[in-house]
Amino acid sequence: MKKVWIDAGHGGRDSGAVGNGVKEKDIALRVATETVKRLERDYDGVKCDLSRSTDIYLTLSERTNKANAAGADFLISIHCNAGGFESYTYSGTKDAATASLQNVLHNEVMARLKPFEIRDRGQKKKDLHMCRETKMPAVLTENLFVDVPGDATKLKRPEVIEAIISGHVVGVAKFLGLKPKQQPKPPANGAVKILGPASATVGQAKEWARAKNAPQEFVALADLYWQVAAERGVDPAVAYVQAGHETGYIYRDGRSAAGIDASYHNPCGLKITAGGGDYQASAHKRFKDWTNGITAHLDHLALYAGAVGYPKADTPDPRHFPYLKGTAKTLEALGAKWAPSSSYGQRLGDELRKLQGIKADTPASKPSGETASIEVNGEKVADGPLINGYVFAPVRVGRGSTRR
């Protein structure tokens, strides 16, 4: 088992370089945490550790002491401090492994940044603490410069951050000779498509949720999933099962492992555009209501599945990145993509089949649960399901058309 130490530069009261709406510490943390996540998710024989996984302050000595104590095979320290991309090793080292690590890592990152016309500032040596005080090969990467408007603009683009992360991941894998993990085979009865009509009724969904001892708030959300999903071509049963898994049935025990609760109206653990740690509450998106949260969830699934018209401009999905389109057209394919585990999609498929096997009398067109009336000037104009204090019902906006 190879041990890799990833150091996210700066943090806490030490923001690093700041400019043009970008902070170095935030970029470093995002690249570091995602690199670790993908290395362990996608490759066998590697264990990764981070100097920091949240926005905390650490001295340089604390960072290198932790890496040395862990017995890591090598260290990579991630920063943003140059008009382009460059990498450093300690000026006094003549170690062949260090030189090899720098060469592979530098070339892999730069190969992915060239399409964005980012300058290659070269492989360099310098008397840097992070490279000098480690007992293992160490490389420090400088990923663009936040004070340069052109670089800062690129650092705000998800596809540029993706290129930086991917370059670090592939560089480490190549240097260590890691083998990709075997992807699970789809079940014998065929993979579950994300796009398509409802494969179960809303009544079945509610009975499944009640069997999980889910709170009433989660049970009631089934109505909203079935309403919104139809407009996006996503099977609502797929999305509802995923919501239950991702939230512990809307945080049945109060809060998620990340420290967020139902007030976030986040049914699937979506992060903010900048991303962040899996256990960092501030890295997760807070939606204004369940309609927005569920719409974002369904749009994210539709994008993964390659739905027509996606990616779209008008969406509350904060991570609606074009490069995701069509990368997971089935539930099983979400494994090692939406979540680190390669069996993630298969587990969701198992739950979906349990939901589909439930016998329920409630048809999809007539949702069960609490209902309420909408009145105008004392006259009732519509009935609809009551969800989290809101009544959902069709509203007439013009001749021959309705809008929810």
Amino acid code (one letter) for 199:
S
The DSSP line for 170-224 is HHHHHHHTPPBPPPPPPPTT-PPBSBSS-SS-HHHHHHHHHHTT--HHHHHHHHH
Helix (H, G, I), strand (E, B) or coil at 340: coil
Between the alpha carbon of residue 40 and those of residues 8, 119, 172, 244, 342, the distances in Å are 17, 30, 11, 25, 11
Q: Which residue has the tokens 């739950």?
A: 351
Cα 396 to chain center, whole Å?
Answer: 37
How many whole angstroms separate alpha carbon 330 and alpha carbon 199? 14
How many whole angstroms separate alpha carbon 141 and alpha carbon 34? 15
Quick one: tokens of 338?
């939406």
**CB 78, CB 168: distance < 8 Å:** yes
Amino acid code (one letter) for 255:
R
The DSSP element (H or E) to which 167 belongs, if any, is helix 158-176
**Residue 307: left if φ>0, alpha if ψ -120 to 50, beta else—which one?**
beta
Helix (H, G, I), strand (E, B) or coil at 138: strand
Computed on alpha carbons and rounded to an integer, the radius of gyration of the chain in Å comes to 24
Q: Judging by beta carbons within 10 Å of its beta carbon (0-12, 13-18, 19+), is residue 317 exposed, middle or buried?
A: buried
- Given the residues 142, 207, 332, 351, the one annotated as active site: 142
**CB 37, CB 340: distance < 8 Å:** yes
How many whole angstroms separate alpha carbon 143 and alpha carbon 24? 9
Quick one: tokens of 347?
């587990």
How many whole angstroms separate alpha carbon 294 and alpha carbon 20? 32
142 is catalytic: yes
The residues annotated as belonging to the active site are 142
